[in-house]
Amino acid sequence: MTVLLDSAMGTELARRGFELRAPRWGARAIEDAPHLVRAIHAETIGVGAQVVVTASFGLGERDTQLAAASVALARDAGAERIAGSIGPADPSSPPAQRRAHLLALGEALVRGGCDVLFAETHTTVGGAREALEVLRPLGRPVWVSLACGTGGLTLGGNGLRVAFEADAVFVGCTEHVGLEPALARLAPHNATLGVRPSLARTTDAGFDPSGAHEHDVVQSVLRCAERFDLAYAGGCCGTTPAFVASLAHALSS
């Protein structure tokens, strides 16, 4: 049985009129519009999401109070299982600084009461492995997601015939046509797999938020669930609670 995750927080915040602005982007809403974050979580739970991902993607190592608050907002919305989102550190920064970023946010999310630490949207195998190395000692299951192109490589050009010391490995922030090629390479080496496809297109390193048709993405997820026995499925960039509802219906049919 595939467990259903929620959809993209930033996409839904923007759709409701919240301005996504650097450096925190959607994570600014934890402080500036907590009512919106809570409402979006509640809506995705209402249409079938069994795991809620915190709105903490985009926070920096000094935003520990906001990281903990992101867990509280998910819990207040009725989430029974919460995955604490941690975005990748700047790959150009020194290793000690990258590790400090991961550790500070991981510890804050654990203090806040998250059930899982979710190291999201890594474009390189090395970055994903570094995150796992830092987060695994914190006493929570750790998931990692890899952003991939359509040819079965990470967006950073790494091959995926790799075993990760993670409790689940996701292909995330990836066009739906890239899901199967990536999973085919990961599956022989990793037992627990998930997907969080993007409706946006990233062809030729461009980003088109209008992206793919929701129906096509849902059908791709269904094929992956059958072929790879997916443990988890949800949505990334461009997806909304309506996508979660469609995916919930398709997975239960």
Structure-token pair, residue 226: 């059958």
pLDDT at 202: 58
pLDDT by 10s per residue, the chain, length 253: 999 999 999 999 999 999 998 889 999 999 999 999 999 999 999 999 999 999 999 999 999 999 999 999 999 999 999 999 999 988 899 999 999 999 999 999 999 999 999 999 999 999 999 999 999 999 999 999 999 998 999 999 999 999 999 999 999 999 999 999 999 999 999 999 999 999 876 555 455 656 788 999 999 999 999 999 999 999 999 999 999 999 999 999 8
Residue 217 to residues 8, 26, 71, 132, 221, Cα–Cα distance (Å): 14, 23, 28, 28, 6
**How would you classify the pairing of strands 193-198 and 168-175?**
parallel
Distance CA 184, CA 38 (A): 36
Where helices occur in the chain by DSSP H, the ranges are 9-15, 29-32, 34-46, 64-76, 95-112, 125-135, 179-186, 214-228, 241-252
pLDDT at 21: 87
Structure-token pair, residue 199: 């409706």
pLDDT tens digits for 175-206? Answer: 999 999 999 999 999 999 999 999 876 555 45
Q: What structural domains and CATH numbers belong to the chain?
A: 3-252 (3.20.20.330)
Neighbouring CB atoms inside 10 A of 103's CB total 16
pLDDT tens digits for 5-36? Answer: 999 999 999 999 999 988 899 999 999 999 99
